[in-house]
Structure 1
Amino acid sequence: MKALIALILLVQLPIHKAVPAAPPAPLGCDDPESEAAAEFSVNYINGHSHHGYKFTLNRIKNIRIIPQGLNNYILLLELHLLETMCHVLSPTPLENCTVRSFVQHAVEGDCDIKLQKLNGKFSVLASKCHSHADSSEDVLQVCPVCPLLTSLNNTEVLTAVATALNDHNSKTPDAYLRLLEIGRANIQYEPAHVVFVEFAVAATNCSAEDAKVSVEACQLLPEDQSNFGFCTATMVKRPSQDLRVGCQLYGHQPGVTYSHPGHDTSAGLSPSVVQGFINHNLRLSHNNPFASESSSSEFPASAFSAKSVAKRAVADVAQHDKVPHPVGFLPPPPPCPGKIRHFKI
């Protein structure tokens, strides 16, 4: 009898069984979680780019989620970006930066980002990017007279930058500026011959008057006092000569540094990292092969292609349409790629 009672009590005891954590649900390219991951990634890209301009998100091309454990998963993103008019040294928040228009000969970027989200916080594990200008033919089809991007070490470009900087320094009694890098350059030949240049600068320890005495003695300010800036210039060569220059210094920004390409900026107007190229390539700052799953045998590259994801999503929708849906049914996430935020290129 005692044994029977003990058995009954044992059966009535609550049974505790470990329940494995459910894997995170698949993400669509326009889901809030995907957009948050993309925003974090773009800020990382801009914060770790050493040359050129800030980029903004144009489209999430693909996303995949890989569970790693409780409150821990990996996100693999493919992002399409567009160049803005803010240099990477500019303190202007990205949301206030103007995107280059198509007819300004836009530059696009493609990035693979590997993110981890652990306990609700993102961190970038790897980034791999490439950026290039749109084809000249595409621009000329829309705007036959629009000036096209030209090589950053083009002779006319170098002359325009040197002339513009000398003109600014000769008219400004404040800090004597030196060139850091040429950002972009366009040349228009018809109906007028015009050279448009943009370039990053930095203040030196000299005033304009000091530089007249001994320009060789003028050095860039030390890191804890650095003062970067940006200039734009338009040099008209025909039908009549004209020069317009505008420069702005940002003021000291703690923690913001410029990665020198290994040449004397007082004399070298064409940074070695951009010789012969028409735009600064994001690959110079982001070239980690582990940014995408295709670099690892653990994840086949075909599993991350936009086409395969789209096919799976369409198949899922078709399958769901064959059966009645319960109340509160949520359809699967839309296929990738996601929406275009600015323009297709």
Structure 2
Amino acid sequence: MKALVALILLIQLPIHKAVPAAPPGPLGCDDPESEEAAEVAVSYINAHSHHGYKFALNRIENIRVIPQGLNSDIIFLELDLLETTCHILSPTPLENCTVRSFAEHAVEGDCDVKLLRVDRKFAVLASKCHSHADSSEDILQVCPDCPLLASLNNTEVLTTVTAALNAHNSKTADAYLSLLEIGRAKIQYHPAHIVYAEFAVAATNCSAEEAKDNVEACQLLPDDQSNFGFCTATMVTTQDKSQDLRADCQLYGHQPGVTYSQPGQDTSGLVPSVVQGFTNHNLRLSHNNPFASESSSSEFPTAVLSAKSVAKRAVAEVAQHDKVPRPVGFLPPPPPPCPGKVRHFKI
């Protein structure tokens, strides 16, 4: 009898169905996971750039996560970057590199990056970028007297770089330095005429003295001995046509594994696209993989599922979750905030 009563009481107890937890929402542009992915992406971009300067993250424009299976996702990032003062050959860590100010005629990079995340570890699969200097009109509105970027093959710029390198080599007993590329240049016209240039160099197998006799025989050091560096040059021409040249060069020392790509350069150390009169090295030269963009109609590499099949599965999963009973008053999470915060300035 006691057992029967207990059974009746048990049947009368309210039954609470377990409501499955809602699936994790999409990442916001300022979420820690998004910033971690962006850090990996920016490191990859700088490590695989062949010319110009290192770039720093300015803002995460968008992020899209596509599940691939257990503990695995494909992540698409849209990033806004800004040029720093560190050349790609510089050993200075990115966190110690100064982002160029807006008034210095800032250069912006726009990048699409595709990453694979497995067990919270990121690997970049593809990158696609382009970079451009801000418009002259925008700079002059803020700073009417600021000098603007000049074409890297400008005659005055080439003359200044050649004179600065000759001046350095004539005063040193160390290795003869050879020009690799001009990084950026500016020309100021008032109140004095000033040409300012930055350029990358490398030590050769000749001393500066040996180069005087036969400079054509001087070759860059092999990769296992390479020694890259960076120079700045300023040529001031006064109203009476007198000139004052200032040059400063610094060698970084040998950096194992650091190499420099020299595809089809002209005698001034400029890659073909720069010779056409551009004011900055374009990231597109180093990053132009169509797989980096989610809008690409191509399928993912065979190692992962195609974007179309993954999207269909994601839609099906969301539809299935929508059929799950929700607690009274349940509201779906708001869409994640994108784009993210601006870290430096917007151009």
Shorter-chain TM-score bucket reads: 0.7 to 0.9
Q: How far apart in 2 are the matches of 1:243 and 1:23?
A: 65
Deviations 1:129-179 (A, max 9, x none): 010000000001111111100110010010010000000111111111000
Alignment correspondent of 2:6: none
Alignment correspondent of 1:84: 84
Alignment correspondent of 1:338: 340
Letter in 1 for 2:197: V
Letter in 1 for 2:259: T
CA distance 1:23–1:73, change in 2 (3 Å):
farther
- CA positional deviation for 1:331: 5.5
Letter in 1 for 2:296: S
Native 8 Å contact 1:162 1:269 kept in 2: no
1:138-287 pair list within 5 angstroms: 138-239=138-239, 240-263=242-265, 267-275=267-275, 276-287=277-288
> What is the DSSP-based 3-state SS (H/G/I as helix, E as strand, rest coil) of the residue aligned with 1:295?
coil
Native 8 Å contact 1:56 1:94 kept in 2: yes
1:98-177 pair list within 5 angstroms: 98-177=98-177
> What is the DSSP-based 3-state SS (H/G/I as helix, E as strand, rest coil) of the residue aligned with 2:224?
helix
Native 8 Å contact 1:24 1:65 kept in 2: no
Letter in 2 for 1:135: S
Alignment correspondent of 1:292: 293
Deviations 1:38-74 (A, max 9, x none): 0000000000000000000000000010000001001
Alignment correspondent of 2:325: none
Letter in 2 for 1:142: V
Q: Which consecutive unaligned segments of at least 5 residues does structure 2 have?
A: 1-19, 299-305, 312-327
Q: How far apart in 1 are the matches of 2:270 and 2:204?
A: 19
Alignment correspondent of 2:46: 46
Native 8 Å contact 2:78 2:111 kept in 1: yes
Q: How far apart in 2 are the matches of 1:299 and 1:71?
A: 17
- CA positional deviation for 1:24: 4.7
Letter in 2 for 1:50: H
Q: Once superposed, what is the RMSD of the aligned Cα atoms? A: 2.2
> What is the DSSP-based 3-state SS (H/G/I as helix, E as strand, rest coil) of the residue aligned with 2:337?
coil
TM-score by length of 1: 0.83
Q: How far apart in 1 are the matches of 2:80 and 2:207?
A: 43
Runs of 4+ in 1 over 6 A off after TM superposition: none
CA distance 1:334–1:214, change in 2 (3 Å):
same
Letter in 2 for 1:76: F
Letter in 2 for 1:248: Q
Letter in 2 for 1:290: F
Determine if the alignment matches structure 1 residue 59 to structure 2 residue 26.
Answer: no
Q: How far apart in 1 are the matches of 2:121 and 2:333?
A: 27
- CA positional deviation for 1:121: 1.4
Q: How far apart in 2 are the matches of 1:209 and 1:95?
A: 39
Native 8 Å contact 2:113 2:293 kept in 1: yes
Alignment correspondent of 2:316: none
Q: How far apart in 2 are the matches of 1:111 and 1:165?
A: 34
Native 8 Å contact 2:111 2:130 kept in 1: yes
Native 8 Å contact 2:49 2:287 kept in 1: yes
Deviations 1:72-116 (A, max 9, x none): 001010000000000000000000000000010000000000111
TM-score by length of 2: 0.82
Letter in 1 for 2:283: L
Q: How far apart in 1 are the matches of 2:121 and 2:269?
A: 42
Identity value in percent: 78
CA distance 1:224–1:206, change in 2 (3 Å):
same
- CA positional deviation for 1:324: 5.1
Q: How far apart in 2 are the matches of 1:172 and 1:106?
A: 34
- CA positional deviation for 1:290: 1.0
Letter in 2 for 1:282: L
Letter in 1 for 2:261: S
- CA positional deviation for 1:274: 1.0
